[in-house]
């Protein structure tokens, strides 16, 4: 049973409790903004525009950060401090203690600055909380929020949701963790009807009063344990997306415990629980009948009727079970916002997934080459591995404290060979040795100084390692095989990010095949 809540939690600081719209008394508020990346810059810029007194701090004294600092000083920041000591404590703002700290999502709660803020009783918001506080603005339309989180599939689902909303004739944009800060969309001259908001667990950790029209948790699997401290903490932060939801809490009916997260949420009176499944849907669910996507939640007679909202083939060039689930979640959110079935179908057909997500790179001599660099954890890798029958798997990277036993055990029979990249591969190699002992394991990253010298490859040079990985994969692939680069790990040990890793793979494949 979901808990009804008609009001947001009362904050201890009465000064902050007043700040519930753009037109609230922000002027003179003293704020520390922690982080000067995309979200931190947007938060600082917005607060300055609102009349707050702002000091920005960031541990990274890089050229990019210095340029951002110069811009913020020009528009009116009280101070910008960069360098290793900048976040060692809570700084004064214009000679007095701050009323508020707004943190960027990547900064851990255990960091010295945030720990000190809590000890002093200073309220901490994330950029998402700030964005919700300024969502209402006199003389402008206030967009509705459809909020999406999950271990995997967030960006794809947010993109699908925005595409469906646009197909329905609504002014909509994908924002949040997907790349465009929510605050930038709210300050855009375009007055959006709906925001499709991607939220990471980091962002949700610092939300207090967000009240979306509808919200969804796509899935929850072990990830970011290093940041949250435990899987239980990570799961709890994911579930915060349901708090104060007004129309529909969308959940994955195939995941054990998913409905429990909805039942435990404090929601607005009248909010419904709506499930999605890649199987036949039950009452108040969206699902699949034969190859059709159907809705039994947002129809007049949920007992006897269902609305056709698309087909499995509408969900992507290479339909996967994971992709179908994402499409159904997006459809549920859009239907909660009143979108007609035809617009769901048209929006799914129009959606173009971003690169590095189960992306077909090449097909040559009967072998498919797939780039799924976005698979930065085992749960995401499972979604793509399960879509293919015979796989030469390129995997490895920063494990982020997760295990690989379940992933390897579930896919051992489909693995023809594994090519290991990355510098943090002990856990993956251990799982492969125990649970897939007959599968050849090839090392693209030089394991010793002698190996590095013989190969001429620096273990930290991800692009050189990837070229070697692709060569090794080609040697072991045969017609009807798929070479799948789904690392099940983060990329920052050898690449700048997952996109850099995916680009390295794509370029290496084209070079190897002579494209």
Report d(CA 43, CA 56) in Å as an integer.
Answer: 10
What are the backbone angles phi and psi of residue 452, rounded to the nearest 5°? -60, -40
152 is in an annotated binding site: yes
Report d(CA 136, CA 20) in Å as an integer.
Answer: 8
Paired tokens of 280: 């036949």
Whole-number Cα distances in Å, 118 to 32, 124, 259: 13, 8, 32
Query: Residue 110: how many CB atoms within 10 A of its CB?
Result: 9
- DSSP result, 152-201: SSHHHHHHHHHHHHHHTT--EEEEETTSS-HHHHHTSSS--SEEEEE--H
Report d(CA 498, CA 504) in Å as an integer.
Answer: 10
With vertex at residue 370, the alpha carbon angle to CA 507 and CA 314, rounded to the nearest 5 degrees, is: 125
155 is in an annotated binding site: yes
Q: Is 21 exposed, middle or buried (0-12, 13-18, 19+ CB in 10 A)?
A: middle
156 is in an annotated binding site: yes
Paired tokens of 281: 């849907």
502 is in an annotated binding site: no
Residues 6 or more apart whose CB falls under 8 angstroms from that of 453 comprise none
SS3 412: helix
71 is in an annotated binding site: no
154 is in an annotated binding site: yes
Name the DSSP class of 20: -
Which of 336, 334, 288, 296 lies closest to 314 in space, CA to CA?
A: 288
Give the gyration radius of the chain's Cα atoms: 24
User: Are 46 and 62 a contacting pair, CB within 8 Å?
Assistant: no
Report d(CA 63, CA 146) in Å as an integer.
Answer: 36
Helix (H), strand (E) at residue 216:
strand 214-217
User: Are 423 and 457 a contacting pair, CB within 8 Å?
Assistant: no
445 is in an annotated binding site: no
Query: Residue 230: how many CB atoms within 10 A of its CB?
Result: 9
- Feature table: binding site: 150-156
- Feature table: binding site for ATP: 150-156
């Amino acid at each position: 049973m979901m808990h009804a809540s008609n009001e947001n939690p009362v904050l201890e600081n009465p000064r902050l409790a007043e700040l519930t719209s753009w037109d609230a008394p922000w002027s003179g508020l003293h704020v520390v903004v922690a982080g000067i990346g995309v979200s931190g810059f947007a938060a600082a810029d917005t607060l300055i525009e609102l009349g707050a007194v702002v000091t920005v701090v960031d541990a990274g004294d890089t050229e990019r950060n210095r340029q951002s600092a110069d811009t913020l000083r020009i528009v009116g920041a009280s101070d910008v401090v960069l360098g290793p000591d900048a976040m060692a404590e809570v700084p004064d703002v214009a000679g007095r203690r701050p009323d508020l700290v707004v943190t960027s999502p990547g900064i851990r709660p255990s960091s010295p600055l945030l720990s000190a803020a809590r000890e002093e009783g200073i309220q901490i918001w994330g950029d998402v909380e700030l964005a919700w506080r300024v969502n209402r603005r006199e003389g402008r339309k206030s967009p509705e929020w459809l909020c999406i989180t999950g271990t995997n599939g967030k960006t794809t689902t947010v993109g699908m949701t925005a595409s469906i909303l646009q197909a329905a004739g609504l002014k909509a944009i994908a924002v949040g963790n997907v790349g465009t800060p929510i605050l930038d969309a709210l300050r855009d001259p375009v007055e959006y009807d709906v925001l499709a908001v991607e939220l990471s667990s980091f962002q949700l950790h610092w939300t207090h009063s967000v009240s979306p029209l509808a919200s969804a948790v796509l899935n929850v699997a072990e990830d970011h344990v290093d940041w949250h401290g435990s899987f239980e903490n990570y799961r709890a932060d994911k579930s915060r997306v349901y708090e104060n939801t007004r129309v529909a809490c969308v959940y994955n009916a195939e995941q054990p415990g998913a409905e429990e997260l909805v039942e435990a949420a404090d929601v607005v009176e009248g909010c419904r629980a709506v499930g999605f499944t890649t199987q036949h849907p039950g009452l108040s669910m969206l699902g699949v009948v034969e190859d059709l996507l159907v809705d039994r939640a947002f129809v007049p007679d949920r007992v006897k009727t269902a609305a056709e909202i698309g087909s499995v083939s509408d969900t992507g060039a290479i339909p996967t079970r994971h992709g179908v689930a994402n499409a159904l979640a997006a459809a549920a959110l859009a239907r909660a916002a009143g979108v007609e079935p035809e617009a769901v179908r048209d929006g799914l057909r129009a959606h173009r997934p971003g690169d590095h997500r189960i992306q077909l790179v090449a097909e040559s001599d009967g072998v498919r080459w797939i780039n799924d660099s976005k698979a930065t954890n085992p749960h995401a890798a499972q979604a793509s591995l399960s879509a293919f029958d015979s796989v030469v798997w390129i995997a490895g990277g920063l494990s982020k404290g997760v295990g690989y036993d379940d992933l390897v055990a579930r896919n051992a029979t489909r693995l023809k060979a594994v090519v290991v990249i990355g510098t943090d591969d002990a856990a993956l190699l251990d799982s492969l040795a125990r649970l897939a002992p007959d599968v050849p394991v090839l090392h693209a990253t030089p394991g010793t100084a002698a190996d590095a010298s013989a190969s001429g490859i620096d273990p930290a040079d991800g692009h050189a390692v990837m070229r070697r990985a692709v060569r090794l994969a080609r040697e072991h692939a045969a017609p009807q095989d798929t070479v799948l680069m789904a690392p099940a790990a983060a990329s920052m040990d050898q690449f700048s990010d997952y996109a850099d890793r995916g680009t390295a793979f794509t370029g290496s494949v084209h070079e190897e095949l002579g494209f």
